[in-house]
């Protein structure tokens, strides 16, 4: 009985094993396994970093994995299906050490074959922090006639942290301030940089806070008067029916130098020598000197600026614009040689705008109005006149906008009357036949 029972159990077990083999073979044939490098980057975690340490080497941040999965599962592989990490618990300080990268699979049905990198080189150093002063460096110069006060920094010191050897090299934190032509106090929020005693940046350290406020006050020099506006002095009158449309002075302001007592007497501007615009009808351009008090001169922008004591003045002169209404006779064009035309009305009012000096000189020969009657046959038509004017003159409108044109032609030629048909004469044979 026992032998028969064992034979039965063995047969059942063998049948199950054979069934599993057949099922696995069929499944693999329908959905074969794929072995490739997965198209994902697995983040590498840092574990068990010793307290008070800092990593001073650059290590790989992600790992690649070579896996085997069923083909229909390949597109579902994600980075969070894996865990990658390096354990720094036993890494000594101040020594480069190769630490293995551990990769684990957290998703069922995925077989890990390989990964890279297999290890990373790690160097740990003791972390240190220190407090260093902040120095502000004014990069450019203030404008002429101004002096920059010493920068004021808030806060006056910052904390630097990082590897002990790097922190030990930091002597101060530096910020660069650009005035960029400012004539009032400059306030900037700037990022400090850790520097060594030779003025070179120190890498591998962090600065806290990440920004500081720098204020630079600007003051006028006692014997300078900066940014004094220039006013052009015009004499004479432009030609009748013209006006001064714009005045340009280059430069618009100057910096003066002289005795403080004299500078204080100067009003809010400096005038130029007179610019004559008498009877001008176009732009007047002159380089003229400035009317400066005795002992006062203009500070040149550069050492080679020989024309600093004079300025360029451009006075733009334009004609006065206005309007005019003219009554213009309407002419015909393109009328057939045997046709005649009657217009109603024969004149139109044309409203014009432009320079008055030009409008006042217009005559009937300068403004023409016509109607085009090409291919216009006999009958009554409404046609819009075409008006031409000289350049510079603009047509604002006309009344009426269309005129009535009655075209007549020669009377139609009567058609000739049809010729009468001849009467048939009886022949002798026909007469004898009737008898």
Hey, how many other C-beta atoms are within 10 angstroms of the C-beta on 387? 18
The encoded tokens of residue 123 equal: 């160097």
Domain that holds residue 5: 1-28
Instruction: Find out whether 167 and 130 touch, Cβ atoms under 8 Å.
Output: yes
Whether 90 is in a domain gets the answer yes
Which pLDDT belongs to residue 6? 60
Q: Which residues pair with 93 in a beta bridge?
A: 124
CA–CA distance from 84 to each of 35, 63, 91, 337 (Å)?
20, 7, 18, 102
- Domain identity same for 135 and 174: yes
Last residue within a domain, chosen from 275, 292, 319: 319
Whether 331 is in a domain gets the answer yes
- Contacts of residue 72, defined as CB under 8 A and 6 or more positions apart, other chains included, come to 31
- Contacts of residue 22, defined as CB under 8 A and 6 or more positions apart, other chains included, come to none
Would the pTM of this model clear 0.85, i.e. be above it? no
- Domain identity same for 102 and 73: yes
Whether 415 is in a domain gets the answer no
Which phi and psi angles does 164 have, rounded to 5°? Answer: -55, -40
Distance CA 39, CA 79 (A): 9
CB burial class (10 A; 0-12, 13-18, 19+) of residue 83? middle
- Domain identity same for 265 and 313: yes
Whether 79 is in a domain gets the answer yes
Mean pLDDT in consecutive groups of 10 residues from the start of the chain, 435 residues: 65 66 56 90 96 92 95 92 96 94 94 96 94 95 85 96 94 95 90 96 94 92 86 94 93 89 87 95 94 88 71 94 93 87 93 92 92 89 93 92 89 61 50 43
CA proximity to 126, closest of 204, 51, 195, 206: 51
Whether 371 is in a domain gets the answer yes
Which phi and psi angles does 212 have, rounded to 5°? Answer: -130, 160
- Domain identity same for 238 and 212: no
- Domain identity same for 384 and 398: yes
- Domain identity same for 364 and 404: yes
Domain count, the chain: 5
Last residue within a domain, chosen from 117, 145, 168: 117
Which pLDDT belongs to residue 42? 97
At 333, is the secondary structure helix, strand, or coil? strand
- Domain identity same for 199 and 244: no
Which pLDDT belongs to residue 433? 45
Last residue within a domain, chosen from 285, 319, 353: 319
Which pLDDT belongs to residue 303? 59
Instruction: Calculate ∠ Cα 163-169-172, nearest 5°.
Output: 110
Whether 283 is in a domain gets the answer yes
CATH number of the domain that 184 lies in?
2.170.120.40
Whether 298 is in a domain gets the answer yes
Which pLDDT belongs to residue 427? 47
- Domain identity same for 138 and 198: yes
Whether 435 is in a domain gets the answer no
- Domain identity same for 215 and 230: no
In terms of phi and psi (left: phi > 0; alpha: psi -120 to 50; beta: otherwise), the region of 145 is left
Helices (H) and strands (E) in the chain, counts: 5, 35
- Domain identity same for 311 and 230: yes
Q: Which residues pair with 406 in a beta bridge?
A: 342, 380
């Amino acid at each position: 009985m026992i032998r028969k029972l064992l034979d039965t159990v063995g047969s059942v077990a063998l049948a199950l094993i054979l069934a599993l083999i057949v099922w696995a073979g069929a499944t693999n044939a329908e959905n074969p396994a794929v072995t490739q490098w997965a198209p994902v980057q697995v983040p590498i975690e840092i574990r068990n970093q010793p307290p008070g340490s800092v990593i001073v080497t650059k290590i790989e941040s992600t790992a690649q994995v070579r896996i085997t999965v069923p083909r229909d599962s390949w597109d579902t592989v994600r980075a969070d299906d894996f865990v990658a990490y390096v354990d720094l618990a036993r890494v000594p300080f101040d020594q480069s050490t190769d630490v293995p990268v551990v990769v684990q699979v957290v998703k069922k049905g995925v077989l890990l074959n390989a990964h890279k990198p297999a290890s990373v080189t790690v160097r740990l150093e003791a972390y240190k922090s220190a407090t260093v002063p902040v120095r502000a460096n004014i990069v450019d110069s203030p404008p002429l006639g101004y002096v920059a006060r010493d920068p004021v920094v808030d806060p006056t010191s910052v904390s630097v942290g990082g590897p002990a050897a790097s922190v030990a090299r930091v002597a101060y934190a530096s910020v660069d301030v650009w005035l960029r032509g400012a004539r009032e106090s400059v306030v900037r929020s700037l990022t400090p940089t850790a520097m060594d005693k030779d003025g070179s940046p120190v890498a591998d350290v962090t600065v806290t806070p990440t920004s500081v406020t720098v204020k630079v006050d600007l003051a006028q020099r006692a014997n300078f008067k900066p940014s004094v506006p220039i006013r052009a002095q015009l004499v004479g009158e432009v030609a009748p029916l013209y006006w001064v449309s714009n005045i340009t002075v280059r430069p618009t302001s100057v910096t003066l130098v002289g005795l403080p007592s004299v500078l204080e007497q100067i009003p809010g501007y400096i005038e130029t020598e007179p610019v004559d615009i008498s009877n001008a009808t176009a732009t007047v351009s002159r380089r003229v000197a400035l009317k400066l008090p005795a002992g006062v001169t203009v500070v040149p922008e550069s050492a080679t600026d020989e024309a600093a004591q004079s300025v360029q003045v451009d006075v733009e002169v334009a004609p006065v614009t206005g309007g005019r209404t003219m009554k213009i006779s309407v002419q015909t064009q393109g009328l057939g040689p045997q046709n005649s035309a009657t217009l109603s009305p024969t004149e139109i009012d044309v409203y014009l705008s432009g320079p008055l000096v030009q409008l006042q000189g217009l005559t009937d020969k300068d403004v023409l109005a016509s109607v085009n009657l090409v291919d216009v046959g006999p009958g009554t038509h409404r046609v819009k006149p075409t008006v031409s004017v000289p350049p510079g003159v603009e047509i604002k409108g006309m009344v009426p906008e269309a005129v009535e044109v009655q075209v007549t032609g020669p009377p139609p030629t009567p058609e000739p009357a049809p010729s009468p048909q001849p009467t048939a004469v009886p022949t002798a044979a026909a007469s004898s036949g009737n008898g």
